[in-house]
Amino acid sequence: MREGTRIGFILLVTPLLLWLTLLIVIPHIDMLLISLRERVGVGEYQFSAANYLTFLQEPLYLWTFLRTAVMSVTATLITLLVAFPVAYYIAKMAKGRVKSLLFLLCLVPFWVSELVRTFGWMILLRETGIVSSLLQYLGLVDGPVEMLYNDAAIMTGLVYTSMLFMVVPLITTLGSLDDAVIEAGYDLGGSGPSILREIIIPHAMPGIVSGCIVVFMLSLGNYLTPTMLGGKDSLWFTELIYSQFIVRFNWELGAAFGFVLLFLSSFIVWAMLRLTGQTLEKTMG
C-alpha cells in the first residue's frame, strides 16, 4: 500500500511539474535572460541592462507605461462603482426566479468573444454609427460625430469587457451576508450610508479585492480593446510589446517591456492583497 501511494503520487505530480516548469517557470526565466542582454554584433550578445535603460530614458515608452497603468486603475474603479449597485440588487433585493434570471443575463455577454463585443461598440460609436445617427436625428448635433478613437471609447470598452469579473465575485460575497445583520444595523440606529460603510462593504471586501485584481489584470494586459476602440495612437503598453516582437523583431527590448508589465501587475496584485489582508489562495482559489 505505501509503495502504491508513492507511485500514485509520482504519477500525479509529474503532469503538474511538467506544466509549471516547462510552460511557466522556465519560459519566464528565459525571457528575463533575453531581456538582460544586448546585441553587440551578428549573433553576439553581452549581458547588460541596456534594454531597461532604453525603457527608462525614452519618454514615449515611459509615458505609455504610466498612461496604461493609470487608465487601468481608472477602469477598475469605474467597473467597481458601476457593478456594485447591480451586484447588490441581484444578491439582496431580487428574489427567486428573477434573481437567477438577472444573474444569467449578466453572464450572457461574456460567452461571446471579446472581439465581437468590441466590434459592437465600434458599430455604435463610429462616425457613421448608431449613436452619431441618433444624435443627428434628434437634432442635437449638425453633422456626424466621431466617437471612436479617444480615451473615453477605450474606457467604455474596458469597463464593458471586464464587467463580469467584477459582478460575479461581488454577488457571491454579498449573497453570503445575512439579512439579519443589516436589520440589526438599522435597529441599532444606523442610516443607509453608515450601514453600507460599516457592514456591507467590509463584508464584501474579499469579493471587491478579487474583482479588482482580475479587472485590473485584464485591462492592463488588454490589446484588442485599446487597438480597436482607441485607434493607431491609443498608446497602450501591450501594443509596444507587440510591435517590438512582431513588427520590429527586437525581442530583447520586447522581453524587457514584457517584464516591466509583469512587474507592475504583480506589484499591484501584491499591494492589493497586502492592504486588505487577503491571500492569493483565498481570493483566486
Partner 1 sequence: MIPTIPQSRPFRFAYSAYVILFFLYLALPLLVVTVFAFNDSQFPSLPWEGFTWNWFFGDSAPMIGVFHERPILRAIGTSAFIGAAVSLLAVAVGVSNAFLFTRHKFRGRGLLYVLMLLPLVIPGIVLGISILVFSSTVANSVWDSMKWDLEVLRPGLTLVILGQFSFIATIATLVISARLQKFDQTLEEAALNLGATRLTAVRTITIPYLAPAMVGAFVVAFLMSFENFNTTLMLVGSDAPLTIAMFDRLKEGSTPLLNAVSLLLMLGSSCLALIMIAFQRRD
219, 230 Cβ separation under 8 angstroms:
no
Residue 19 C-beta: closest distance to partner 1, Å? 6
CA-nearest of 276, 274, 77 to 173 is: 276
3-state secondary structure of 46: strand
Please report how close the Cβ of residue 142 comes to partner 1 at its closest, in angstroms: 17
- Residue 233 or 281 having the CB closest to partner 1: 281
Q: What gap in Å lies between CA 144 and CA 126, rounded to an integer?
A: 9
Q: Which is nearer to partner 1, 50 or 217 (CB)?
A: 217
- Beta carbon of residue 57, minimum distance to partner 1 (angstroms, whole number): 22
Helix H or strand E segment including 225: helix 224-230
Nearest approach, Cβ of 237 to partner 1 (angstroms)?
9
Pull the grid cell for residue 148.
471612436
77 contacts: CB under 8 Å, gap ≥ 6: none
Q: Which is nearer to partner 1, 47 or 111 (CB)?
A: 111
CB of 1 to partner 1, least distance (A): 9
Q: Of 49 and 262, which has the nearer Cβ to partner 1?
A: 262
Distance CA 244, CA 233 (A): 16
* CB neighbour class for 178 (10 Å; exposed up to 12, middle 13-18, buried from 19): exposed
Crossing angle, helix 50-57 and helix 251-276, to 10 degrees?
A: 70
Would you give the DSSP letter of residue 113? -
CB of 160 to partner 1, least distance (A): 7
User: What residue spans of 20-137 are helical by DSSP H?
Assistant: 26-35, 50-57, 59-88, 96-107, 114-125, 130-137
Q: How far apart are CA 266 and CA 217, in angstroms?
A: 9
Closest CB 63 distance from partner 1, rounded Å: 19
